[in-house]
Amino acid sequence: MCVVCGCGTGHSHDKTEAPATDSDVRVDATGDLHYGTGQARVSVPGMSQARTIRLEQDILGENDRHAARNRENFTAHGILALNLVSSPGSGKTTLLCSTLMALRQRRADLPLAVIEGDQQTRHDAERIRETGVPAIQINTGKGCHLDARMITEAYSRLPLHEALHAAGHAHQPHVHSPVEQQPHAHVHTQQHQHSHPVHDASEPAGILFIENVGNLVCPALWDLGEAGKVAILSVTEGEDKPLKYPDMFAAARLMILNKIDLLPHLDFDVQRCLDYARQVNPQIQIIQLSARDGTGLDAWLDWLLAGAPEVDRRAARIAELEAELARLKGQVEAPHA
């Protein structure tokens, strides 16, 4: 049982933990049970909320230190690292293969690489390699998500850094912290700068796609050092997924609504799905796409080649306030409905 996300990942527990408290579960008027309502927002059998929070801080804190080093490395080299997250069957790998081939056609000089995450097999990594893009498979065993340490190890085995320099890109000079002891794709001096022409910072010098384990729960909490999470939702999954798995969609910078070529055959309310996503995350950007027929693929490529642009903060704040106003109005009107 993982104390961070509440799922079975084999983490061991201290046998001296305090018993769980009544705050772990709430029973509503209909008799439905609501776990994860305590301070820790997760219920672990035999563990108090306070102990759960302490363990979560220890585990995530160590992960975040690894993630910070990854992010520093990616940023210094101009690498756009994206964490692709979804449930199984969303079409994530098919979309990724189509994306890689389309990027090759539009920007043949752009270095690309992929880190594939699954519990078992290397099927997806083999599919990626067939596109000609280097890929490293990470199998997590019972683990339900990738973590930052895994990314450090996998990245060091990819030829992305060498490809960047072969393409003539420089990275920014940076000074490493004395505690930075993780494996790296190449040996650094304390401060260094390559003599290649400096790359235009408005565009990525290379792109690293990290395809996480298929799961809409656990990967939401784990920072890998990425520039952002991209949540891929298939129209075959139901429009209410952003409400059912709010942590994931709240953490994402972009939502791709995938498989829209199937809409004529489904009872799927697109506008409701988009509204639900923005209700959870008013700043989320959305692209509707079909990896099969290519609809929306150009918009996705534009977003990537623009370096995954941030949203207009002022517009995002207005949208956030409008969403909050709508929620409050709903609460006022509900008793009179």
Q: What is the pLDDT of residues 298-312, one digit of tens each?
A: 999 999 999 998 865
Predicted TM-score (pTM) of this structure: 0.75
**pLDDT tens-digit series, residues 131-185:** 999 999 999 998 889 999 999 999 999 998 787 767 665 555 443 433 343 444 4
Burial of 88 (0-12, 13-18, 19+ CB in 10 A): exposed
Domain extents in the chain:
53-164+201-326
pLDDT band at 241 (very low <50, low <70, confident <90, very high): very high
Are 239 and 113 in contact by the 8 Å Cβ rule? The answer is no
Measuring CA to CA, which residue among 66, 61, 74 is closest to residue 209?
A: 74
**What is the reported pLDDT for 195?**
38
Average pLDDT score over residue span 308-334: 67
Residue 330 C-alpha from the chain's centroid? 31
Return the CATH number of the domain spanning residue range 53-164+201-326: 3.40.50.300
Q: Are 183 and 257 in contact (CB under 8 A)?
A: no
Q: What is the per-residue pLDDT across 65-97, written as a single tens digit (0 to 9) for each? A: 999 999 999 999 999 999 999 999 999 999 999
